[in-house]
Amino acid sequence: MNVSLHGITHLTTTFLLFALTAVLEIVGCYLPWLWLRQGASSWLLLPAAACLALFAWLLTQHPDAAGRTYATYGGIYVVVALLWLWWIEGIKPSVWDITGAVVILIGAAIIALAPRS
């Protein structure tokens, strides 16, 4: 298997872009959650809306078909959501969470890296 430096760089950039996209989506949804469930300021809705707008824009920056992009992104999103659970909410993911994330990442990799005709 011949893996080029360009291919690794592209894969790394794509992964980081998906991870950033996931953080923006989570923050865009978490801030209204804080407002609705924790009584935080309604001013949090402004950065939430900005995060969600940037999230949507970032998803359009991938050259692949939208459905394939969303499917691959979903796998990365699950991993980032579990990291959020651990780092922000202070809940350590279970062995089942981690196992599920690995399975989902394998599926996302198959979708993203499959040869195209």
- Pick from 12-16, 18-22, 105-109: least confident: 12-16
pLDDT band at 52 (very low <50, low <70, confident <90, very high): very high
pTM of the model: 0.86
- CA–CA distance, 59 with 63 (Å, rounded to integer): 10
pLDDT band at 90 (very low <50, low <70, confident <90, very high): very high
Distances (CA, A) of 106 to 31, 59, 91: 30, 20, 24
Task: Over range 38-56, report the average pLDDT.
Answer: 97
pLDDT in the model for residue 63: 79
DSSP string, 63-116: SS-HHHHHHHHHHHHHHHHHHHHHHTT--PPPHHHHHHHHHHHHHHHHHHHS--
pLDDT in the model for residue 14: 87
